[in-house]
Amino acid sequence: MSGRPLRLLIVMPSWVGDAVMATPAVRRIRDAMPGIFMGALCRPGIDQLIGDGEESNLFDEVHVFVPHGMMATKKAAAKVRPRRYDTAMLMTNSFSTALTTRLAFIPRRIGYDRDGRGMLLTDKVVPPRNSNGSWKMVPAVDYYWNLAGHLLEEELVDWSVHTPVDCVSMPLAIPDGVMMELPVSEGNQKKCDEILAEAGVGDSGFAILNPGGNNEAKRWAADRFARLADWLNDEYGLKVLINGSPAESELVDAICGLCSSDPVSLPAMGNTLGGLKALCKGARLMVTNDTGPRHIAAAMRTPLVSLFGPTDPRWTTVPVAKLKDGGDSEVVVVADPSLPAEESANDHPERCGIDRIEESWVRDAVDSLIE
């Protein structure tokens, strides 16, 4: 089954970072097929990222579903069924989201043939694997870009470009100049302006620290973030804003309590993912663990220092803006720079423990971006 869709539903990834990394593929489709109706199906929170209605320049409509509970799949299908989509493209890998599109009676269903869901797909895209059958390490932006190529009946990604050259980054297959993108609404910007005014940000600007993460093993120590906040204030006169989800508010409060420089807790100010997009636009830089806000900052062209422990950064190599000197605006700091290129940090949780990242490495990375 092939042909140009008239009404396309894109099932967006569930994680914040993956949703951002899917945007180049979505933009590719939007530009290649002007005039078609494009909807998104996503979990709560992702809608704040990709926007809805007039705020979004990627989607015409955003459907939100809660992916938990016995009836979640049927409820999600019932939500999108009245829109009569003729094609669905699944950025997700799950069986449940493939079932949702089948129950919604969407005739054409495109997705990777994995996790036992091939029988639910009309277009089974072969996922990249190594010769031994294991998953090939490919950046997520290329993984999604390849799906868009299948829909558009254009050349697919040549997975051979993903040959590791070091333990830090992976070559990308997407064309040069293609970037991730996120819309910023007037409401997002207003919230940002209110926070900056209340925080007392001056002419020297501000930095954002992001100490959280869904996995504690990915979190650099709180006391190190605190000392970094004081150093950023003393060395560069930057006001430091510490970001976190509502569930990470205690962690943020703990770091603020360890500081002498009076940083600002963004959770305490009621910041949202939408507000974070606008804040990143104006930040001098962000220092972050391997978690969703890193991708938001990259999409907003914010200079980044990204800390990776026992998760390999090459799965999430992303396109970033260039600095005035032509260098990348992101410095990826790994726990073990000597790890052989053919090995993965995921397989070495002790050797690549995030606490092995020294504070001087992070300060040097900050210096290289600011100076």
Q: Are residues 202 and 129 in the same domain?
A: no
- Span 321-345, pLDDT tens digits: 999 888 999 999 999 999 999 999 9
Number of helical H runs and strand E runs in the chain: 12, 12
Q: C-alpha angle 183/186/187, rounded to 5°?
A: 100
pLDDT score at 1: 58
- Span 165-201, pLDDT tens digits: 999 999 999 999 999 999 998 888 999 999 999 999 9
Q: Which DSSP string corresponds to 126-177?
A: PPPB-TTSSBP---HHHHHHHHHHHHHT-PPP-GGG---SSSS-----SPTT
Q: Indicate the DSSP class of residue 19.
A: H
Q: Are residues 103 and 220 in the same domain?
A: no
- Does some domain include residue 181? no
Q: Under DSSP, is residue 305 helix (H, G, I), strand (E, B) or coil?
A: strand
pLDDT score at 56: 73
- Does some domain include residue 128? yes
Query: What's the whole-number mean pLDDT along residues 248-265?
Result: 96
Q: What is the number of domains present in the chain?
A: 2
Q: Is the pLDDT of residue 227 over 60?
A: yes
- Span 78-111, pLDDT tens digits: 999 999 999 999 999 999 999 999 999 999 999 9
- For residue 67 the two structure tokens come to 């992916």
- Does some domain include residue 166? no
- Does some domain include residue 172? no
- The residue ranking higher by pLDDT, 172 or 214, is 172
How many Å apart are CA 265 and CA 355, to the nearest integer?
A: 23
pTM of structure: 0.95
Q: Are residues 115 and 256 in the same domain?
A: no
pLDDT score at 66: 85
Q: Are residues 108 and 198 in the same domain?
A: no
- 270: domain range? 186-370
Q: How confident is the model at residue 55 (pLDDT cuts 50, 70, 90)?
A: low
Q: Is the pLDDT of residue 27 over 60?
A: yes
Q: Are residues 244 and 365 in the same domain?
A: yes
Q: Which DSSP string corresponds to 111-127?
A: EES-TT-GGG-SEEEPP
Q: Which DSSP string corresponds to 65-100?
A: ----STTHHHHHHHHHGGG--SEEEE-S--HHHHHH
Q: Are residues 199 and 319 in the same domain?
A: yes
pLDDT score at 371: 81
Q: Among the three residues 161, 176, 208, which one is the final residue of a domain in this structure?
A: 161
- Does some domain include residue 174? no
Least confident of 125-129, 182-186, 236-240, 362-366: 182-186
- Does some domain include residue 173? no
How many Å apart are CA 124 and CA 70, to the nearest integer?
A: 27
- Whether the CB-CB separation of 323 and 253 falls below 8 Å is answered with no
How far out from the chain centre does Cα 75 lie?
26
3-state DSSP helix/strand/coil percent for the chain, to nearest 5?
40, 15, 45
Query: What's the whole-number mean pLDDT along residues 61-71?
Result: 85
Least confident of 38-52, 55-69, 234-248, 296-310: 55-69
- Does some domain include residue 77? yes
CATH number at residue 190: 3.40.50.2000
Q: Under DSSP, is residue 103 helix (H, G, I), strand (E, B) or coil?
A: helix
Q: Is the pLDDT of residue 53 over 70?
A: no
Average pLDDT, the chain: 94
Q: Are residues 223 and 362 in the same domain?
A: yes
- Residue 136: Cβ within 10 Å count: 13
pLDDT score at 57: 84
Helix (H) or strand (E) holding 265: strand 264-265
How far out from the chain centre does Cα 132 lie?
29
- Does some domain include residue 175? no
Least confident of 2-6, 88-92, 224-228: 2-6
Q: Is the pLDDT of residue 140 over 60?
A: yes
Query: What's the whole-number mean pLDDT along residues 289-301?
Result: 97
Q: Is the pLDDT of residue 208 over 70?
A: yes
Max mean pLDDT among 70-74, 131-135, 156-160 falls in 156-160
How many Å apart are CA 85 and CA 351, to the nearest integer?
A: 48
Q: Are residues 251 and 357 in the same domain?
A: yes
How many Å apart are CA 23 and CA 299, to the nearest integer?
A: 9
Q: Are residues 210 and 324 in the same domain?
A: yes
Q: Is the pLDDT of residue 54 over 60?
A: no
Q: Are residues 14 and 128 in the same domain?
A: yes
- The residue ranking higher by pLDDT, 337 or 52, is 337
- The residue ranking higher by pLDDT, 272 or 220, is 220
Query: What's the whole-number mean pLDDT along residues 261-290?
Result: 94
Q: What percent of the chain has pLDDT over 70?
A: 98
Q: Among the three residues 161, 196, 214, which one is the final residue of a domain in this structure?
A: 161
Q: Are residues 284 and 340 in the same domain?
A: yes
Q: Are residues 124 and 203 in the same domain?
A: no
pLDDT score at 145: 98
